[in-house]
Amino acid sequence: MKSCQLLAFDLDGTLLQKGGVLSPLGAKALEEAAKAGIFPVPATGRMRDFLPPALTALPCIRYAVTCNGASVWDLQEGKVLFSRLIPWETAEKVLAILEEYPVYKEFYAGGGAVTETGSRRKALEAWGFPQEKRLFLEKPYRLTGSLRETLVREKICPEKINLPWLPDPLRREISQRLQAFGGLELASSFPDNLEINAAGCSKALGLQALGAHLGIGREAMAAMGDSGNDRAMLEYAGFPIAMGNASPELKKIARAVAPPCEEDGAALAIFQYILPGGPLRG
């Protein structure tokens, strides 16, 4: 491949440590990549307003692919460079189905998150939401009495509809129902969640759009990830890197396997493969 010009990296399970923490070594690796002329770009299922402040505070982080590729942001300018949104009519049908189940649901729009008043308490007290995943309920939220009524009234086209915890067999049942009427892309960043995007949406689509904006082709991109929603991105990039904690399927399509996330594997991979002296910089 060409010399690396853009490094896309997943957050949860890839760059961020337990609890969503950016390690000092991770921050240093990103800064060193930028000094070498490489754009470090988070490519995540999170929405813009849930990007870790410790990450966005780094001067080298200008662009972000969010919501599994539904939006590409210029964070410094505060503007969207590309979007692939769910039509509000389709989103209404999805929410109508989800209302039949005792599950925590939210949607992302305009870089923010919307959920229903009281649903966080219900999730933790009545719906069995795991305590170890509470981080994903601590986003900055707009609260509303009804997600579906708000969406229809304001004709909101979501970036993503998210179910941060959805255990089997409920996950299989809901997935089958949503797949039946089409127009959607279903993905997961954890074995027990479900992320709903517009058809054709992926992190690869977001990278393609950002590459067109910057004049960087896929052959000059590297990508790191660990989960199912990273697969398209790793298949797209010229140099795909799977984390040590990734699935066997993801490791098969990677050109390199980094140490696990909790061992600062993403940072170590940047130093080994991406920075000058590594195979992607000569």
pLDDT digits (tens, 9 = 90+) for 20-34: 999 999 999 999 999
Non-local (6+) Cβ contacts of 187 within 8 A are 45, 68, 195, 197, 202, 228, 229
Residue 1: per-residue pLDDT: 57
Mean of per-residue pLDDT scores for the chain = 96
DSSP 8-class letter at 262: G
Q: Which CATH class is domain 88-198?
A: alpha beta
Query: Over the stretch 198-237, which tens digit does the pLDDT of each residue have?
Result: 999 999 999 999 999 999 999 999 999 999 999 999 999 9
Q: Which CATH fold would you assign to the domain 6-84+202-274?
A: Rossmann fold (3.40.50)
Residue 279: per-residue pLDDT: 67
Identify the helix (H) or strand (E) that includes residue 32.
helix 24-35
Residue 131: per-residue pLDDT: 86
Q: What is the DSSP string of 13-65?
A: TTTBBTTTBPPHHHHHHHHHHHHTT-EEEEB-SS-GGGS-HHHHTSTT--EEE
Query: Over the stretch 47-87, which tens digit does the pLDDT of each residue have?
Result: 999 999 999 999 999 999 999 999 999 999 999 999 999 99
In whole angstroms, give the CA distance from residue 279 to residue 239: 10
The structural domains of the chain, with segments of one domain joined by +, span 6-84+202-274, 88-198
Residue 2: per-residue pLDDT: 73
Torsions phi, psi of 149, nearest 5?
-65, -40
Token code pair at residue 20: 């969503």
Query: Measuring CA to CA, how many Å separate 29 from each of 100, 264, 275?
Result: 46, 10, 9
Residue 181: per-residue pLDDT: 83
- Among 157-166, 191-200, 272-281, the least confident range: 272-281
In whole angstroms, give the CA distance from residue 213 to residue 232: 20
Overall average pLDDT of the 3-29 stretch: 97
CA 155 to chain CA centroid, Å, is: 24
The answer to whether the 6-84+202-274 and 88-198 domains have the same CATH topology is no
Among 276, 215, 226, which residue's Cα sits nearest to residue 251?
226
In whole angstroms, give the CA distance from residue 282 to residue 276: 6
For residue 179, the one-letter residue type is Q
